[in-house]
């Protein structure tokens, strides 16, 4: 199952192998009922792994000429309510018809005996993802600063378009409870921090206290909140990298305050390794954080006077996510060497977030 010469995948890590024969039998049975062009259940299944990401496991599954994506939680214990594949599947199924950049899901398996966990299979989108490398590595002409500005603008506009979807008009209101969304987020991520911390980080405790009296009121109209919107969670058109062809990783989607997404985009900007907010080798042409805010304000007409709160909370949230991953590494639940220095990244993010709070006083 290793015959796919695709540059964005690699052989499955030995510690993340699955019961391939059982999975193959399950998918043959359930995918044949889906309307997937050119799908041939008689073809042998081939599997590779997408190396990006630090949390859920994502595999490329191929039957002949049809490529699909399978997502499942990481191995070992996970935080309560985290890595909910059934929830992510339901969100994709509801959002895809009104926001086609969300991939179409095909099969949800809630029988943990098949693969040791709930998982789902969705369509595979092809495109380019910016992670640690700048755009010129794969897009002709993209070394121009004006090209990077086009990519930046497309990213912000896509986020504004997502938030502009009328939740009630498209039958999405049942997906969540937007009232009190930000307050629940603050409480929930603070609790996750306490459950996953290994050593004291005073800045994280300071941040948790700072958020307490500063939670903004609910927006007049709730929006779809992606929950993890950043440059390396969108896919760009290989022929025109200023055009987005997919928005990925809907695990933390919700109905609530759209500025939670904008704050997270600012916290991750520009893309890079956790705790490194300037990892791109050449930043000329990319929007500044102020330009991101200005463009979003122009497209959305939102009141952004409290954006510092949202950016600071996003840094806190990212620190907790990294801490949860580091906790699994420290406890021996994963041997992925990428996670060895994540404890230092948590501290760096906490220091940066507390700096923002002090500037805000």
Domain ranges of the chain: 14-123, 135-360
Model confidence band, residue 44 (pLDDT cutoffs 50, 70, 90) = very high
For residue 306, with 0-12 CB atoms within 10 Å meaning exposed, 13-18 middle and 19 or more buried, which class applies?
middle
Identify the sign of the CA torsion 299, 185, 233, 67. Answer: negative
Taking CA atoms, 201 is separated from 9, 104, 323, 339, 347, in Å, by 36, 41, 11, 18, 7
How far is 223 from 173, CA to CA, in rounded Å?
10
Q: Which residue has the higher pLDDT, 275 or 215?
A: 215
Summary mean pLDDT of the chain? 86
Q: Which residue has the higher pLDDT, 109 or 35?
A: 109
pLDDT 10s digits, 201-220: 899 999 999 998 899 999 99
pLDDT recorded at residue 354: 93
Domain 14-123: assigned CATH number: 3.30.200.20
With contact defined as beta carbons under 8 Å apart, do 231 and 130 qualify?
A: yes
How far is 306 from 291, CA to CA, in rounded Å?
16
* pTM, to two decimals: 0.87
pLDDT 10s digits, 91-136: 999 999 999 999 999 999 999 999 889 999 999 999 888 875 555 4
DSSP string, 164-181: HS-TTTTT-GGG---TTH
The CATH number fitting domain 135-360, selected from 1.20.120.1770, 3.90.1200.10, 1.10.150.530, 3.90.1150.10: 3.90.1200.10
Q: Do domains 14-123 and 135-360 have the same CATH topology?
A: no
How far is 163 from 184, CA to CA, in rounded Å?
20
SS percent in the chain: helix, strand, coil, step 5: 45, 15, 45
pLDDT recorded at residue 133: 52
Task: Identify the H or E element spanning 334.
Answer: none
pLDDT 10s digits, 316-350: 999 999 888 888 766 766 666 677 677 788 888 99
């Amino acid at each position: 199952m290793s015959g796919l010469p695709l540059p964005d995948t690699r052989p499955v890590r030995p510690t993340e192998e699955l019961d391939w024969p059982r999975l193959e039998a399950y998918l043959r049975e359930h995918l044949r009922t889906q309307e997937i062009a050119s799908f041939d259940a008689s073809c042998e299944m081939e599997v590779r792994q997408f190396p990006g990401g630090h949390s859920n496991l994502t595999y490329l599954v191929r039957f002949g000429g049809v490529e699909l994506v399978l997502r499942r939680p990481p191995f070992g214990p996970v935080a309560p309510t985290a890595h909910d594949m059934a929830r992510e599947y339901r969100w994709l199924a509801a959002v895809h018809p009104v926001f086609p950049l969300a991939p179409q899901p095909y099969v949800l398996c809630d029988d943990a005996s098949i693969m040791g966990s709930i998982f789902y299979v969705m369509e595979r989108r092809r495109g380019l993802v910016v992670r640690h490398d700048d755009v010129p590595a794969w897009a002709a002409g993209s070394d121009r600063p004006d090209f990077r500005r086009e990519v930046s603008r497309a990213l912000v506009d896509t986020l504004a378009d997502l938030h502009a979807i009328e939740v009630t008009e498209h039958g999405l209101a049942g997906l969540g409870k937007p009232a009190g969304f930000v307050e629940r987020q603050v409480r929930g991520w603070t609790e996750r921090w306490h459950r996953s911390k290994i050593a004291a980080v005073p800045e994280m405790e300071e941040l948790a206290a700072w958020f307490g009296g500063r939670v903004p009121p609910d927006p007049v109209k709730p929006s779809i909140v992606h929950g993890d919107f950043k440059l390396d969670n969108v896919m760009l058109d290989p022929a025109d990298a200023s055009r987005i062809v997919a928005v990925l990783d809907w695990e933390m989607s919700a109905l609530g305050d759209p500025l939670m997404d904008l704050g997270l985009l600012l916290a991750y900007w520009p893309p890079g390794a956790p705790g490194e907010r300037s990892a791109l080798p050449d930043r000329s042409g990319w929007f500044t954080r102020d330009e991101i805010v200005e463009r979003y304000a122009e497209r959305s007409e939102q009141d952004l006077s409290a954006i510092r709160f949202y950016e600071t909370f996003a840094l806190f949230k990212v620190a907790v996510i990294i801490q949860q991953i580091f906790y699994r590494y420290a406890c021996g639940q994963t041997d992925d060497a990428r996670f060895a220095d994540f404890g230092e990244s948590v501290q760096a993010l906490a220091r940066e977030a507390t700096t923002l709070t002090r500037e805000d006083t």
